Structure 1
Amino acid sequence: MALRPAAIGGVVSALLLTLPAGPASAAGSIRWTPCGDGFQCGTVPVPLSYDHPRGTTITIALTRLPATDPRHRIGSLVINPGGPGLSGIDFARAYLRDLPAELRARFDIVNFDSRGLSGSTALRCYDTAAERFAALAARLRGHPEPGLSYTDFIGTALGAMWTAENWPAFATLLAGVEKGRWSRAAQENYQNLYEGEPGVACSDQVNPRSFRTWQNAADRAERQYGYFGRIYAWVWSQCRSWPASARQDGYRGPWTARTRAPVLIVGNYFDPATPYAGAVGAARLLPNSRLLSYAGWGHVAFHLRHNDCVDRHVIDYLRTGRPPAPGTVCRPDAPFPVPPAGTASR
């Protein structure tokens, strides 16, 4: 799939692998209702601010694909699509129906939209849609885009009002103008990603206010990592102006807690988005963890790479709670078709 620069490395992040959860338990307060294609949907209320747990609440949207063999159900497998800031529900509908049959039989597959995203209570940077539109119009009046003036914008808005069939296309145009990429607006699928993605990412990290600090970091990244260091350094530069209060409750560690059950960490030697060094570091920090290495390429290893070795070890771990032997490395299949013997090379 195509990746926008602001989401590089984030569309298909590592699956969050949970251990077998024991006997099936009650669903608690979640009211699951059918929502198409075999999925069930529900919501849970959570505090807007955990500093005020009895104050204003928002909702988290969830989806569940029930186990196909409920009599032998182990528990729920909660999967995080990463991003940061992508819809877990969209990810579930796109990718999770074809999980290995052994997992589909024994687990309810559960996913969710993070706080502020898509089906959950959406993050909004404006009080009303009218304020948002006014901000775009004012910007174009003072600083027209190449090929898009204030007059063009207002005329297009008027044209969109003639029929509701025009509204989806106009919404994508608005999203493109707001992001400064109006010429590619028709290619965008706007679901508050431009608020939601930084709402997740910028709230989970320290964001320098100095432009020079970001520039120095980009220069260091290019020297250390080569061609792609600079673009990764700038991906979240929008966080420079994100409200500092958003990260006041971010978790900063420690990351060394001993878990009751072993944690399986899967690392990919040549992952372009989540480097193998990160998996090695996580395995060193977590005292009851095991690293499964995939000597291959592409983003993530389990399921999406269709590697039998990785998939088998992960499935066995989830079913039994036992990780693979220390130092296990899975080898990739050939990335290109192997020519028949005797074929002359060119």
Structure 2
Amino acid sequence: MVAAAAAALLLAGLTPSAATAAAPSPPVPQLDWKQPCVEHFECDTAQVPLDYRTPQGQSIQLAVIRHRATDPAHRIGSLFYNPGGPGGSGTQALPAVYDLFPEQVRKQFDIVSFDPRGIGSSTTLHCFTDPAAEQSLLSRLPAGFPVGEEQQSAWADTYARFGRQCADSDRTGLLAHLSTADVARDLDVLRQAVGDKQLSYLGTSYGTLLGATYANLFPGRVRAMVLDSAIDPVAWTTGRNPQDRALTPFLRTGSDLASARALDAFLDRCGAADPAACAFSAGSPEATRAKFTQLLDRLRRGPVTVGTPPQALTYDYASAVSIVTSMLYAASPVPGFPDTGWAALGAQLQGLWTALGTPAASPPTGGLPSQAQTLGVLCADTANPPMDADYAGLADLAGARSGAVGPYWVWQTQRCAAWPAEAARDRYDGPWNRPTSAPILVVANTGDPAWPYEGSHAMADTLARGRLLTVDGYGHTVLGNPSSCAAGYEERYLVDGRLPPRGQVCAPDRQPF
């Protein structure tokens, strides 16, 4: 009887720790794809249960988008795509990256994406009456991350108030149902809505956690799954040993170390390049590293303004480090986004360098908009040190092991320290090795600056049927830093189920500079 009950829960996508009895099957939404949408794409809205324990109860809306297979005579089915985040909008991301998908995949699959619950045009968590009210709370925060005791105290206090505001404003109960496990159950309902017996999926960045969660909640429903730039799921959700509980999630996964390695590579390659290729080059790797250190030392003493009004922008130490961290993601320019790539980062740093003689009156302040869309998922999925933990000490630890970029990663999840506890109600934290009906392909750059290559290796090793494909290059996600070699293997796997050889290593199409 116990085994039968556990099997029923697994088929329903509910683990014994998440429910006491198997819930009825959720209704399958009807999609007609008639809503006006981006050119060449079709959109619709799907109704899904708020709570999969009571699937016939209250429902929420998911915004969905698709591009039809360009060779319908040889159509295989639908390929679901998730861009990551957390907080990434699939309805916005898919049109931007569609042309990066392998040609044969575009021919033989409808490419489908959606805004996960709580995000974008789907039902979202409303913590404030309007964006101005949110920014009023965040207005005293430093841009980027806090530096020094005063800023750190203000940061912790503000995000504690942010969490209370979200709890007090949640009239629908959505706050308790924003975990990646909830999104995985939505994904299974959408799979049924498009008529596929099994799921074909490509997830990048945080979308790899969604894929791994789906694979372990619904192991018999995997047709093909590509996880591009993966998270170590154990390190992220719980940690691999008791000592990990004292660390923030990004320190457990080593994201700070990954950014530090990528920054070192950028400075070395920039320094070895001609200034025409990298504007920040000082003529050698050593001189360029020293120049970067001098730049940060100057910014620690006060902000500077780059440009002239009305295009002028003000930067201080933390905002500059935050921009550097994010711009490491694209090693080469992303098609359609001219201000990306390490050459663009070099130009940005050189602009700061030349502006050092023009101090600003005040440092930049204010938080990112719509943070509830990120925190609703981020805080539900992770185990974080409590509010009274020594986050300043953890930031010092990150700085000692990762340099300037280290503290950035600590303060991102400090925002979760006082997040309402009910958010973790549906959280999934393993097991991660349930045998799946098909093998899963994990793809990763060795020089990924966000989710380190070691995390993708751990994902492939942790999954019951994982296979790792390595790209010896830089940047976050192989999709965003293309490799024709890797794309060919992904294409053959998604279309025909053929895995690359064990230990296969590909080269990127372009190297920085």
TM normalised by structure 2 equals 0.48
Measure, in 2, the Cα distance between the counterparts of 1:246 and 1:206: 12
SS at match of 1:242: coil
Of the three residues 79, 82, 107, the one matched with 1:80 is 82
Measure, in 2, the Cα distance between the counterparts of 1:76 and 1:309: 23
Matched, 1:30 2:207: no
Give how far 1:98 is off: 4.5
Give how far 1:247 is off: 1.1
Give how far 1:211 is off: 4.0
- Counterpart of 1:15? none
Query: Is the contact between residue 206 and residue 247 of structure 1 (CA under 8 Å) also seen in structure 2?
Result: no
- Counterpart of 1:306? 482
Query: CA 1:282–1:69 in 2, change beyond 3 Å: closer, same or farther?
Result: same
SS at match of 1:55: coil
Measure, in 1, the Cα distance between the counterparts of 2:404 and 2:363: 28
SS at match of 2:409: helix
Q: Report the AA paired with residue 32 of structure 1.
A: W
Give how far 1:206 is off: 1.8
Q: Report the AA paired with residue 385 of structure 2.
A: P
Query: Is the contact between residue 79 and residue 109 of structure 2 (CA under 8 Å) also seen in structure 1?
Result: yes
What pairs up with 1:317-328 in 2 under 5 angstroms? 317-328=493-504
Of the three residues 92, 95, 100, the one matched with 2:94 is 92
Deviation by residue 1:181-207 (Cα, 9 ceiling, x = unmatched): 99688x97x5x3x21011111111123
- Counterpart of 2:65? 63
Measure, in 2, the Cα distance between the counterparts of 1:182 and 1:222: 22
Give how far 1:144 is off: 12
Query: CA 1:65–1:219 in 2, change beyond 3 Å: closer, same or farther?
Result: same
What pairs up with 1:132-281 in 2 under 5 angstroms? 192=370, 194-281=371-458
Measure, in 2, the Cα distance between the counterparts of 1:253 and 1:323: 25
- Counterpart of 1:53? 55
Give how far 1:214 is off: 2.9
Number of aligned positions between the proteins: 266
- Counterpart of 1:154? none
Measure, in 1, the Cα distance between the counterparts of 2:138 and 2:449: 36
- Counterpart of 1:105? 107
Query: CA 1:232–1:121 in 2, change beyond 3 Å: closer, same or farther?
Result: same
Measure, in 2, the Cα distance between the counterparts of 1:254 and 1:139: 38
Measure, in 1, the Cα distance between the counterparts of 2:444 and 2:383: 25
Give how far 1:36 is off: 3.2
Deviation by residue 1:114-141 (Cα, 9 ceiling, x = unmatched): 1111110121014x44xx766877998x
Query: CA 1:28–1:54 in 2, change beyond 3 Å: closer, same or farther?
Result: closer
SS at match of 1:312: helix
Query: CA 1:47–1:226 in 2, change beyond 3 Å: closer, same or farther?
Result: same
Measure, in 1, the Cα distance between the counterparts of 2:495 and 2:138: 55
Query: CA 1:250–1:184 in 2, change beyond 3 Å: closer, same or farther?
Result: same
- Counterpart of 2:11? none
Query: CA 1:258–1:271 in 2, change beyond 3 Å: closer, same or farther?
Result: same
Q: Give 5+ residue unaligned stretches, structure 2.
A: 1-27, 143-361
Query: Is the contact between residue 40 and residue 64 of structure 1 (CA under 8 Å) also seen in structure 2?
Result: yes
Query: CA 1:327–1:182 in 2, change beyond 3 Å: closer, same or farther?
Result: same
SS at match of 1:236: helix
Measure, in 1, the Cα distance between the counterparts of 2:446 and 2:141: 46
Query: CA 1:70–1:235 in 2, change beyond 3 Å: closer, same or farther?
Result: same
TM normalised by structure 1 equals 0.69
- Counterpart of 1:289? 466
Give how far 1:104 is off: 1.0
RMSD value over aligned CA atoms? 3.0
**Greater RCO, CA 8 A, separation 6+:** 2
Query: Is the contact between residue 441 and residue 499 of structure 2 (CA under 8 Å) also seen in structure 1?
Result: yes
Query: CA 1:137–1:65 in 2, change beyond 3 Å: closer, same or farther?
Result: closer
Give how far 1:306 is off: 2.4
**Which moves more between the two structures, 286-295 or 92-101?**
92-101
Give how far 1:331 is off: 2.4
Query: CA 1:37–1:218 in 2, change beyond 3 Å: closer, same or farther?
Result: same
Measure, in 2, the Cα distance between the counterparts of 1:135 and 1:336: 39
Measure, in 2, the Cα distance between the counterparts of 1:59 and 1:291: 35
Query: Is the contact between residue 262 and residue 322 of structure 1 (CA under 8 Å) also seen in structure 2?
Result: no
Percent identity between the two aligned chains:
39
SS at match of 1:229: helix
Measure, in 1, the Cα distance between the counterparts of 2:87 and 2:110: 23
Give how far 1:278 is off: 0.5
Measure, in 2, the Cα distance between the counterparts of 1:134 and 1:226: 35
- Counterpart of 1:119? 121
- Counterpart of 2:229? none
Measure, in 2, the Cα distance between the counterparts of 1:249 and 1:57: 16
Deviation by residue 1:236-290 (Cα, 9 ceiling, x = unmatched): 2211221111012110100011111110001211100110011111111112111
Query: Is the contact between residue 38 and residue 95 of structure 2 (CA under 8 Å) also seen in structure 1?
Result: no
Measure, in 1, the Cα distance between the counterparts of 2:421 and 2:104: 45
Measure, in 1, the Cα distance between the counterparts of 2:138 and 2:412: 24
- Counterpart of 2:341? none
SS at match of 2:511: coil
**Which moves more between the two structures, 42-51 or 75-84?**
42-51
SS at match of 2:43: strand
Query: Is the contact between residue 76 and residue 109 of structure 1 (CA under 8 Å) also seen in structure 2?
Result: yes
